[in-house]
Amino acid sequence: MPDDEHERFERLFHDHYDAVLGYAIARADHVDQAKDAAAQTFLVAWRRRHEVPASARGWLLAVTRRTLADLRRSGERQRSIGVRLATHAEADRTSSRDATAEAVVERDAVRMALSSMTDSDAELLTLVAWDRLNYIEAAKVLGCSRVSFAVRLHRARSRFEAALRSYEASAEAGDAGEEDARPLLTVPASGISWGEGIQ
Amino acid sequence: MRNSSWTGRLAAVRPADAGRTRELVDLAERTRLLKSITSASVAVPKVGGRRRVASVGVLSGLMAAAACGALVVTGAVPLGGVTGAGPAPTEPVHDVAYVAARTVAAMDDAAHDVIHSKWVPGNGVTFETWELADGSKNHSISVQSDGRIYDDTVMVSSKETVSATVVSYPDHAWWTWSDPVGPDPCRGVPGCHPVPKAPGTLTPDEIRKQLASGELKLLGDGGSVDGQPTVRLTRPSSRRPLTLWVNASTYLPVRVEIINSDGTKSQSDYTWLPPTADNLSQLEVKIPAGFAHSPKPIEPSPAAGGGK
């Protein structure tokens, strides 16, 4: 095995391990599952090292995405993003994050809005907001083109912002002392299913 | 102080552990993991039939990943007349590497074509798309199961922006929008050519990846697709089985069929059109008379869109 091939892979591993593990943790059911997914991602990258593009992050996260899906299928029933976010919400209240009442209410509203999205919409939004991927990288993760991704993201973002406004309005109504402060979600269902990206 | 951008607000609810990766997996654990990965080895398939093989090591707890990089060893298949009972082949015997290499070369030659595709995702909606093979422009019309057009969209992609003109038939309206995409990371990166497509189908780049994956098997004669004799390849073992038909003479891809996870079939047919004025005109959107211009995008209503 040529030394430079090893060196290139080690650089790839060290440059991207945190991004891959962070992506997996944000979506896995638990940290051990995320660690497994990250390990398997780099095993695939090692095996297919001649195919890894120079701009590797999108390629790696696409592998992580598939690996996580496989791990979930082989384990417990897959949890929706809403359930996963709810488990993080409690930890968030005791973390070092800004814990002012306003900040907590704000984050709860965002979580509720995100939870109300389809998994497909949530995935689009979080690839950009959580993993800070550009359109090309995110499109690579989902197996679609940059243009398709832009269309889908635009629609998902509109739905998310509408949901967020709805939750915020409900929260404000609750603050004003109205009896029923439950969020009233008025976001329409997405128009046409875009189907699944190729795996 | 509340973050006003949607990305900032979402980033605030990213699970906190995702930002603690260095605490959760320390340097020693990473070093052990890296060593265990690089001590394992597998055969790495390459287009052209060559294959790199090294010794197989033990990678405790990680070998389940085999499903992600499974090798499919394919035998040589005679092209022409192999479907059904096997008459003696009258054409040269080829293997998947030969067909893959010819297909890639054909796609290289057609890099400036307009690709017309029809995608039937299996949910009653049909997407008809014309796209420049360089990924810079894409025109897509979606038609509902009752034959009514749902929307008609042209997207133009540059290094800095993606802009679109959308004609919504349920709303009798049209609008434009534009999003910045930031610096194009494909600039100067060999092999990085984003190509627009309808999701659920394969772009030329994705077809290339499939051909290079080593996971395709050559099934031989694919019968006639739109009057063209074809060769059929398949990726049977994945979560979403895929079949690819290429023209038996030109080797350009003409059909992709994907079995979705819910069992429905998603089929795309491709026609490779030379970049004539007529074919390029298919990339333009047509706004029907009487449709109103909307200053901003209109969200689809469940009644109009048909839902998921």
CB-based contacts of B262: which residues, under 8 Å, 6+ apart? Answer: none
**pLDDT confidence of residue B239:** 67
> Is the per-residue pLDDT at B4 higher than 50?
yes
pLDDT band at residue A81, thresholds of 50, 70 and 90? low
**pLDDT confidence of residue B187:** 40
**pLDDT confidence of residue A97:** 59
Nearest C-alpha neighbor of A134 from the set B182, B8, B196, B186: B182
Residues A105-154: tens digit of each pLDDT: 788 888 888 888 888 889 999 999 999 888 888 888 888 887 888 888 98
**pLDDT confidence of residue A165:** 87
pLDDT band at residue B81, thresholds of 50, 70 and 90? very low
Closest chain A residue to the Cα of B183, Cα to Cα: A134
Across the range B47-64, mean pLDDT stands at: 26
Q: Which residues of B27-62 are buried (b: 16+ CB within 10 A; e: fewer)?
A: eeebeebbebbbebbbebbebeeeeeeeeeeebeeb
**Phi, psi for residue A162 in degrees, rounded to 5:** -65, -40
Q: Which of B6, B142, B179 sits opposite A192 (nearest CB)?
A: B142
Q: What ipTM does the predicted assembly reach?
A: 0.75
Distance from C-alpha of A29 to C-alpha of A34, rounded to nearest angstrom: 8
**pLDDT confidence of residue A175:** 54
Across the range A161-179, mean pLDDT stands at: 69
pLDDT band at residue B300, thresholds of 50, 70 and 90? low
Closest chain A residue to the Cα of B26, Cα to Cα: A18
Distance from C-alpha of B203 to C-alpha of A100, rounded to nearest angstrom: 48
Which ranges constitute the DSSP H helices of chain B?
6-11, 21-24, 27-39, 96-109, 204-212, 277-281, 302-305
Answer whether B126's CB lies under 8 Å from B142's CB: yes
Out of B4-13, B43-52, B194-203, B287-296, pick the least confident.
Answer: B43-52
pLDDT band at residue A193, thresholds of 50, 70 and 90? very low
How far does the CA of residue B177 sit from the closest CA of chain A (Å)? 9
Across the range A7-24, mean pLDDT stands at: 93
How far does the CA of residue B294 sit from the closest CA of chain A (Å)? 16
| Maximum Cα interatomic distance, chain A, rounded to a whole number of Å | 71
Q: Look up residue B68 and give its DSSP letter.
A: G
**Contacts from A53-56 at CB under 8 Å and sequence distance 24+?**
A53/B189, A53/B191, A53/B192, A54/B189, A54/B190, A54/B191, A54/B192, A55/A136, A55/A137, A55/B185, A55/B186, A55/B189, A55/B192, A56/A12, A56/A15, A56/A16
- Report the 10 Å Cβ neighbour count for B21: 22
Which is it for strands B292-293 and B173-180: parallel, antiparallel or unpaired?
parallel
More confident residue, A196 or A31: A31
Closest chain A residue to the Cα of B155, Cα to Cα: A147
pLDDT band at residue A1, thresholds of 50, 70 and 90? low
pLDDT band at residue B284, thresholds of 50, 70 and 90? very high
Distance from C-alpha of B223 to C-alpha of B230, rounded to nearest angstrom: 6
- CB-CB neighbors (< 8 A) of B213 in chain A: 51
pLDDT band at residue B73, thresholds of 50, 70 and 90? very low
Nearest C-alpha neighbor of A151 from the set B267, B148, B300, B123: B300
- Answer yes or no: do A195 and B199 touch at CB < 8 A: yes
Across the range B119-125, mean pLDDT stands at: 70
Q: Tokens representing A99?
A: 């814990």
How far does the CA of residue A194 sit from the closest CA of chain B (Å)? 6
Across the range A159-181, mean pLDDT stands at: 68
Answer whether A192's CB lies under 8 Å from B149's CB: no
Nearest C-alpha neighbor of B151 from the set B307, B303, B300: B300
**pLDDT confidence of residue B297:** 76
Answer whether B273's CB lies under 8 Å from B116's CB: yes
Interface of A with B in 72-131 (CB under 8 A): 74, 84-85, 88, 91-92, 95, 97, 102-103, 106-107, 110-111, 114, 118, 125-126, 128-130
* Residues above pLDDT 70, as percent of chain B: 67
CB-based contacts of B153: which residues, under 8 Å, 6+ apart? Answer: A151, B139, B140, B141, B164, B165, B166, B167, B285
Q: Which of B46, B150, B206 sits opposite A198 (nearest CB)?
A: B206
**pLDDT confidence of residue A125:** 93
How far does the CA of residue B236 sit from the closest CA of chain A (Å)? 13
More confident residue, B60 or A39: A39
Closest chain A residue to the Cα of B35, Cα to Cα: A10
**pLDDT confidence of residue A15:** 93
3-state secondary structure B189-243: CCCCCCCCCCCCCCCHHHHHHHHHCCCCEEEEEEEEECCEEEEEEEECCCCCCEE
> With 0-12 CB in 10 A as exposed, 13-18 as middle and 19+ as buried, what is A18?
middle
Answer whether B264's CB lies under 8 Å from B122's CB: yes
Out of A169-173, B57-61, B197-201, B216-220, pick the least confident.
Answer: B57-61
> Is the per-residue pLDDT at B58 higher than 50?
no
Averaging pLDDT over each range in A14-28, B125-139, B142-156, which range is the top one?
A14-28
Nearest C-alpha neighbor of A13 from the set A60, A75, A62: A60
